[in-house]
Structure 1
Amino acid sequence: MPTFVLVAVGTSVVALFAVIAHFSVSRRGFVFRFRSPLQALHGILMPYGIKEGSESEVMDSYAPAVEDMSSEESSGSVSDVVSEVVALEKNHFKVKEGRVQRILLPIAVDSTQHEALLTLKKLKIIEDEVKADKLCTRREYARWLVRANTLQRNLKYRIFPSVALSGSTIAAFDDVGVEDPDFESIQSVAEAGVILSKLSGKKNFDLDDSKSLEGANFYPERYISRQDLISWKAKLEYEVMPGVNEEISRNKLGFLDVRDISSEALVELFMDMLAGNKSITRKVFGQGKRFQPSKPSTNAQAAVTLTSGRMTEAIHSELLRLEAENFSRQMAMDEIRSELLERGDIQRFWDKKLEDEKSRGLAVERAYLAAVHDCEQEIIVQKNTSAECLRQKAAIDCQKQLLFSLKEEVNEMSETLAREKATYMGERRTVESTLSDLQAKHEGLLDAKSVLEAEIEALRILRSWIEEEARKSQARAKVLEEVGRRWKWGDQS
């Protein structure tokens, strides 16, 4: 058979295996992710039962988990996120318009995980409000790891936060400051060498399980991966055997995806696998050939991890101690109760208590009767006050009605005055117009009078002149008559 045929068949088988087997864990369910040599189609995780309106918020909250995926996934190969959730009973993928729809499966919490979580809650290592099916963050796991380690009786495997933090001059991580509520736990884990930090003396730190990042960041809000879940615990649990190195661990670890495991965690995982049935990995994740180191872990898985290994005996001893303390406390209480019953102190105490309660009852009854009497008096006063208020209200209503009538009359008078004012203004304009006309006529009459007076004066002057001329004419007539008479007399003589 030609070589290229074998290569093609092998590539197809590997691609088919990757398509079927590779899946991611969400906060409350599983979602299968398909990948091919040509392109990668990723179904981003979403909690089961989430509302469609809050899908964008869910995508934002799961962004750190997506960043923790394999570094071979590029931004150009990630398909668009499907916006609809399919029903659980349709346990297969449906391809619609070139997009992959998600199948959500609820995470089942088995009895071992549930018992481990309840035990740690009882020991006050894990908070009571923590839910088993939620994903565990790096911050929470570091806090719980330090708390659980305080139960370790063997000082060789115990972290002392006070000793680890004494003399510390710098923070182990750039994103976890002194003001952080979990600074002590995270700093203690870094000081103990459980996780890489600026204190490790390296420039690059493989803290996010999938790629090396420049700087020293802890990313406390990201979800704890399977790799970190086991390796942190294993570093406190096992001593590295001489001769065990990274290459031996990688070859003998036994996982199909061993190449995806960080080199910093290989030795610890190998030491854990050597424990056989007591292996933390087997106890938490069962017998599987794929470790899936970048997959997030749940709170229940973290609880099983914390209660595994040497901590099993320590937790059992602590529980026995608590039970013994409770039993001794209960026995002491029973003895005290029996002694008090024998001496009659309890009976006398309760008799005195009963008398006190009776006295208090009588006092309360008297106070009650006094209060009832005061209430009745107050009711009478309130009724009288209410009647007075009603009378005042009736008087005020009458005054309001009167004022309303007066207001209507004033409004009518205002309207009448407005109409009369309008009439007055019209008549005033008419009178002013007539006055203007009369003034014009008066001025015309004055002009005519002046002309007439001038004409009269002229006539008077003319009359005087005429009279004078008449007198002159009469004088000349008399002269002529005298001359004529004289003439006649001259002729006659």
Structure 2
Amino acid sequence: MQIVEDDIRVDELCTRREYARWLVRLNSLLERNPKHRIVPTISLSGSLAVAFDDISVDDPDFVYIQALAEAGIIPSKLSSTSLFSVTPEDGSFYFNPDRYLSRKDMINWRAQLEYAILPGTKEQMSRIRADYMDVKDISSDTSPEFFADMLTGEKSIIRKVFGQSRRFQPNKPSTKAQAAVTLTSGRMAEAVQHELLRMEAESSSRQAAAEEIKSELLVRGDIKNFWNEKLLVERNRGVEVQKLYIATLQDLDKEKNLQAQNLTENMKEKAAMDCQRHLILTLREEIEETSERLASERATYVAEQCNIQELRKAALMDQEGILDSKSILEAEVEALRILRTWVEDEAKKSQARAKVLEEVGRRWKWDNQA
């Protein structure tokens, strides 16, 4: 008889989802009065609409919550508006399955499955004063069965759960331990006791039958034969295991030899790799030395290139000076050539004038002589 899960902790707070599930399970299994019994498969047959907007048919606890709504235990979209004084303005109903269960809801749901309200009960409840100081804090939509439980005094479910407390605190969350006490109080206590006695009787009956069968088998020797067969099978299995063990040892020896050979080959390969590594290190050192030498030579080459560049610059400057001097000399030579030409021209002119003068002088002389 699995009503409550095995992994719960009694000091934890109980949710509305969990309590609805446990309440319907317990009621459908142990309730014998058809007026108070809820059978989910019967309650949901022919149901066309979900009772709450936040509980879909895919919800794991839809069957239990919908069954409570179908039975009228909790207000929902399926309830008549005349039964409850508060109706949502937009017509939506929410069950809030993961919200903690209040004390009022815990007792109210359970009381509706415990009591049957007879004519005149409401008038009697109005005349009797409740023992709780905060009874006025209980909402007006609470069922008459809730107050009927208060009237039963020490036998009430409330007293079984909360003891002689003077304050009920209807909106305070309930623990799972309180929920368990609520579920097993009232008429359910006797039903649970009968169920436990029945289970114990069945267990004793099964145990007695097993002892009888055992005695009969012992008398007939079936058990001895059975265990002899088992022993023979186990012996044969032991022989097979021994053979398998020997074969495994042989395979293990072969594997060891193979591993030894592989180890020798690996050692040789390792030695060869060490030699190659040493050779590579030597080559690396030589390469590093060569690199250093090349770096030094490169530095020398760069320095020589710098010197050559400086010498080239100096040669270019000298060449430019020579070219300038050459230009000056060529200009002077040209000037001398021009001067020489002028002098020669002047000399020729002077010679021509001298000849003319000489000719004039000779003629003048001839004229004088004549």
Q: Which residue of 1 aligns with 2:282?
A: 402
What is the rounded CA distance, in whole Å, between the counterparts of 1:420 and 1:155 in structure 2? 114
Q: What 5-or-longer segments of structure 1 have no aligned partner?
A: 1-122
What is the rounded CA distance, in whole Å, between the counterparts of 2:94 and 2:51 in structure 1? 9
Deviation at 1:160?
1.1
Verify the 8 A CA contact 1:246 1:263 in the aligned structure 2.
no
Verify the 8 A CA contact 2:84 2:141 in the aligned structure 1.
no
Deviation at 1:380?
0.8
What is the rounded CA distance, in whole Å, between the counterparts of 1:422 and 1:367 in structure 2? 78
Which has more radius of gyration? 2
1:412-491 pair list within 5 angstroms: 412-472=292-352, 475-476=355-356, 478-479=358-359, 482-483=362-363, 486=366, 490=369
Going from structure 1 to structure 2, the CA distance change for 1:359 and 1:330 (only over 3 Å counts) comes to: farther
Residue identity in the other structure for 1:294:
N
Q: Which residue of 1 aligns with 2:19?
A: 141
What is the rounded CA distance, in whole Å, between the counterparts of 1:167 and 1:474 in structure 2? 163
What is the rounded CA distance, in whole Å, between the counterparts of 1:340 and 1:146 in structure 2? 45
Q: 1:224 aligns with which of 94, 101, 120?
A: 101
Verify the 8 A CA contact 2:3 2:22 in the aligned structure 1.
yes
Q: Does 1:179 align with 2:54?
A: no
User: Aligned residues: percent identity?
Assistant: 38
What is the rounded CA distance, in whole Å, between the counterparts of 1:292 and 1:432 in structure 2? 109
Going from structure 1 to structure 2, the CA distance change for 1:308 and 1:240 (only over 3 Å counts) comes to: same
Q: Does 1:294 align with 2:171?
A: yes
Going from structure 1 to structure 2, the CA distance change for 1:353 and 1:252 (only over 3 Å counts) comes to: farther
SS in structure 1 at match of 2:50: coil
Deviation at 1:223?
2.0
Residue identity in the other structure for 1:323:
E
Q: 1:267 aligns with which of 137, 144, 149?
A: 144
Q: Does 1:379 align with 2:259?
A: yes
What is the rounded CA distance, in whole Å, between the counterparts of 1:417 and 1:251 in structure 2? 119
What is the rounded CA distance, in whole Å, between the counterparts of 1:139 and 1:250 in structure 2? 36
Residue identity in the other structure for 2:76:
S
What is the RMSD of the two structures over their aligned residues, measured on CA atoms? Answer: 3.0
Deviation at 1:222?
2.2
Residue identity in the other structure for 2:105:
D
**1:290-317 Cα deviation digits (max 9, x unpaired):** 3222222221111111112222233233
Give the number of the structure whose residues are more often helix, by fraction: 2
Deviation at 1:474?
5.2
Verify the 8 A CA contact 1:146 1:159 in the aligned structure 2.
yes
Going from structure 1 to structure 2, the CA distance change for 1:485 and 1:263 (only over 3 Å counts) comes to: closer
Going from structure 1 to structure 2, the CA distance change for 1:205 and 1:450 (only over 3 Å counts) comes to: farther
1:32-181 pair list within 5 angstroms: 123-151=1-29, 152-181=31-60
What is the rounded CA distance, in whole Å, between the counterparts of 2:258 and 2:213 in structure 1? 53
Q: 1:253 aligns with which of 111, 130, 151?
A: 130
Deviation at 1:388?
3.1
The count of residues paired between Structure 1 and Structure 2 equals: 364
Deviation at 1:457?
2.6
Residue identity in the other structure for 2:195:
E
Verify the 8 A CA contact 2:125 2:148 in the aligned structure 1.
no
What is the rounded CA distance, in whole Å, between the counterparts of 2:158 and 2:176 in structure 1? 15
The structure whose RCO (Cα within 8 Å, separation 6+) is larger is 2
What is the rounded CA distance, in whole Å, between the counterparts of 2:74 and 2:252 in structure 1? 72
Q: Which runs of 4+ in 1 moved over 6 A?
A: 203-206
Q: What 5-or-longer segments of structure 2 have no aligned partner?
A: none
Going from structure 1 to structure 2, the CA distance change for 1:314 and 1:363 (only over 3 Å counts) comes to: farther
What is the rounded CA distance, in whole Å, between the counterparts of 1:434 and 1:346 in structure 2? 121
Going from structure 1 to structure 2, the CA distance change for 1:381 and 1:332 (only over 3 Å counts) comes to: farther
Residue identity in the other structure for 1:350:
K
* TM-score (ref. length: structure 2): 0.85
Going from structure 1 to structure 2, the CA distance change for 1:466 and 1:323 (only over 3 Å counts) comes to: same
Going from structure 1 to structure 2, the CA distance change for 1:470 and 1:264 (only over 3 Å counts) comes to: closer
* TM-score (ref. length: structure 1): 0.66
Deviation at 1:172?
1.4
Going from structure 1 to structure 2, the CA distance change for 1:386 and 1:337 (only over 3 Å counts) comes to: farther
